[in-house]
Protein backbone atom coordinates (compact mmCIF):
# COMPACT_ATOMS: atom_id res chain seq x y z
CA UNK A 1 0.00 0.00 0.00
CA UNK A 2 1.43 3.34 -1.01
CA UNK A 3 1.23 6.45 1.08
CA UNK A 4 -1.37 7.86 -1.29
CA UNK A 5 -3.72 4.88 -1.20
CA UNK A 6 -5.83 3.47 1.61
CA UNK A 7 -7.31 0.00 1.44
CA UNK A 8 -11.02 -0.32 1.93
CA UNK A 9 -13.07 -3.00 3.57
CA UNK A 10 -14.75 -5.86 1.77
CA UNK A 11 -18.32 -5.00 0.87
CA UNK A 12 -21.61 -6.69 1.68
CA UNK A 13 -23.13 -9.45 -0.44
CA UNK A 14 -25.97 -7.08 -1.36
CA UNK A 15 -23.45 -4.63 -2.82
CA UNK A 16 -21.50 -7.41 -4.54
CA UNK A 17 -24.70 -8.54 -6.26
CA UNK A 18 -24.80 -5.16 -8.06
CA UNK A 19 -21.29 -5.58 -9.44
CA UNK A 20 -20.53 -7.04 -12.86
CA UNK A 21 -17.82 -9.71 -12.89
CA UNK A 22 -14.23 -8.58 -13.33
CA UNK A 23 -13.19 -8.81 -16.99
CA UNK A 24 -9.84 -10.27 -15.95
CA UNK A 25 -10.63 -12.85 -13.28
CA UNK A 26 -14.44 -13.11 -13.29
CA UNK A 27 -14.77 -12.34 -9.57
CA UNK A 28 -17.39 -10.05 -8.05
CA UNK A 29 -15.44 -9.81 -4.80
CA UNK A 30 -14.60 -6.11 -4.55
CA UNK A 31 -13.58 -3.47 -2.08
CA UNK A 32 -13.60 0.30 -2.22
CA UNK A 33 -10.26 2.08 -2.10
CA UNK A 34 -9.46 5.77 -1.80
CA UNK A 35 -6.45 7.61 -3.21
CA UNK A 36 -4.87 11.06 -2.90
CA UNK A 37 -5.79 11.33 0.73
CA UNK A 38 -9.48 10.66 0.48
CA UNK A 39 -10.29 12.79 -2.58
CA UNK A 40 -10.80 9.94 -5.07
CA UNK A 41 -12.24 6.47 -4.71
CA UNK A 42 -12.75 3.42 -6.89
CA UNK A 43 -13.76 -0.22 -6.97
CA UNK A 44 -10.90 -2.69 -6.69
CA UNK A 45 -11.32 -6.37 -7.47
CA UNK A 46 -9.65 -9.18 -5.55
CA UNK A 47 -7.20 -9.55 -8.48
CA UNK A 48 -6.30 -5.82 -8.08
CA UNK A 49 -8.05 -4.68 -11.28
CA UNK A 50 -9.58 -1.25 -10.71
CA UNK A 51 -12.47 0.77 -12.02
CA UNK A 52 -12.50 4.45 -12.88
CA UNK A 53 -11.90 6.93 -10.06
CA UNK A 54 -14.81 8.99 -8.76
CA UNK A 55 -14.89 11.93 -6.36
CA UNK A 56 -15.52 10.87 -2.78
CA UNK A 57 -16.48 14.20 -1.24
CA UNK A 58 -13.89 13.12 1.37
CA UNK A 59 -16.45 10.67 2.77
CA UNK A 60 -14.83 7.44 3.93
CA UNK A 61 -17.83 6.00 5.77
CA UNK A 62 -18.96 2.43 5.12
CA UNK A 63 -22.05 3.58 3.18
CA UNK A 64 -20.59 6.60 1.42
CA UNK A 65 -22.69 7.83 -1.52
CA UNK A 66 -19.71 7.65 -3.88
CA UNK A 67 -19.71 3.84 -3.60
CA UNK A 68 -22.74 3.74 -5.91
CA UNK A 69 -20.93 5.99 -8.41
CA UNK A 70 -17.85 3.75 -8.27
CA UNK A 71 -19.97 0.65 -8.93
CA UNK A 72 -21.72 2.43 -11.81
CA UNK A 73 -18.33 3.27 -13.36
CA UNK A 74 -17.09 -0.30 -12.84
CA UNK A 75 -20.20 -1.69 -14.54
CA UNK A 76 -20.11 0.86 -17.41
CA UNK A 77 -16.87 -0.41 -18.93
CA UNK A 78 -16.92 -1.97 -22.35
CA UNK A 79 -17.47 -5.70 -22.32
CA UNK A 80 -14.45 -7.78 -23.17
CA UNK A 81 -15.42 -10.54 -25.54
CA UNK A 82 -12.80 -12.69 -27.14
CA UNK A 83 -13.63 -15.62 -29.33
CA UNK A 84 -10.79 -18.05 -29.73
CA UNK A 85 -11.17 -20.06 -32.87
CA UNK A 86 -8.55 -22.78 -32.56
CA UNK A 87 -8.55 -23.48 -36.29
CA UNK A 88 -7.72 -19.83 -37.06
CA UNK A 89 -4.94 -19.82 -34.47
CA UNK A 90 -3.40 -22.98 -35.92
CA UNK A 91 -3.65 -21.52 -39.43
CA UNK A 92 -1.99 -18.30 -38.23
CA UNK A 93 0.88 -20.17 -36.53
CA UNK A 94 1.41 -22.29 -39.64
CA UNK A 95 1.49 -19.20 -41.86
CA UNK A 96 4.00 -17.54 -39.52
CA UNK A 97 6.25 -20.59 -39.56
CA UNK A 98 6.10 -20.83 -43.36
CA UNK A 99 6.89 -17.14 -43.75
CA UNK A 100 9.76 -17.42 -41.25
CA UNK A 101 11.25 -20.35 -43.16
CA UNK A 102 11.05 -18.35 -46.41
CA UNK A 103 12.71 -15.37 -44.69
CA UNK A 104 15.51 -17.54 -43.30
CA UNK A 105 16.06 -19.24 -46.67
CA UNK A 106 16.09 -15.91 -48.50
CA UNK A 107 18.28 -13.94 -46.08
CA UNK A 108 20.16 -16.65 -44.22
CA UNK A 109 19.35 -14.74 -41.03
CA UNK A 110 17.61 -16.59 -38.24
CA UNK A 111 17.32 -13.73 -35.74
CA UNK A 112 14.06 -11.87 -36.11
CA UNK A 113 12.70 -14.16 -38.80
CA UNK A 114 9.59 -15.11 -36.83
CA UNK A 115 8.96 -11.50 -35.82
CA UNK A 116 9.13 -10.37 -39.43
CA UNK A 117 6.93 -13.28 -40.47
CA UNK A 118 4.30 -12.38 -37.88
CA UNK A 119 4.20 -8.79 -39.09
CA UNK A 120 3.93 -9.94 -42.69
CA UNK A 121 1.13 -12.42 -41.97
CA UNK A 122 -0.77 -9.88 -39.85
CA UNK A 123 -0.59 -7.37 -42.72
CA UNK A 124 -2.02 -9.99 -45.09
CA UNK A 125 -4.80 -10.96 -42.68
CA UNK A 126 -5.82 -7.36 -41.93
CA UNK A 127 -5.81 -6.40 -45.61
CA UNK A 128 -7.99 -9.43 -46.42
CA UNK A 129 -10.38 -8.58 -43.58
CA UNK A 130 -10.68 -5.01 -44.83
CA UNK A 131 -11.91 -6.20 -48.25
The answer to whether residue 32 is domain-embedded is yes
Average model confidence (pLDDT) across the chain: 77
The answer to whether residue 80 is domain-embedded is no
Is 90 found in the same domain as 56?
no
Residue 17's domain spans which residues?
A: 5-75
Is 118 found in the same domain as 62?
no
pLDDT band at 26 (very low <50, low <70, confident <90, very high): confident
Is 105 found in the same domain as 44?
no
> What pLDDT does residue 4 have?
41
User: What are the angstrom distances between the C-alpha of 127 and each of 96, 120, 123?
Assistant: 16, 11, 6
> For 65-110, what is each residue's pLDDT tens digit?
999 999 999 998 766 565 667 777 778 778 877 877 777 777 776 6
Is 45 found in the same domain as 64?
yes
The answer to whether residue 16 is domain-embedded is yes
Residue 10 pLDDT exceeds 90:
no
Q: Please, what is the end-to-end C-alpha distance for the chain in angstroms?
A: 50
The structural domain count of the chain equals 2
Is 69 found in the same domain as 126?
no
**Strand ranges (E), 53-108:** 54-55
Amino acid sequence: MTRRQQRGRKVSMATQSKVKPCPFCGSTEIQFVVTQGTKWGQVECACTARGAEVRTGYDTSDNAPWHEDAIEEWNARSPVEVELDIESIIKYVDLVNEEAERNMARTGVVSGAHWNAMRSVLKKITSEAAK
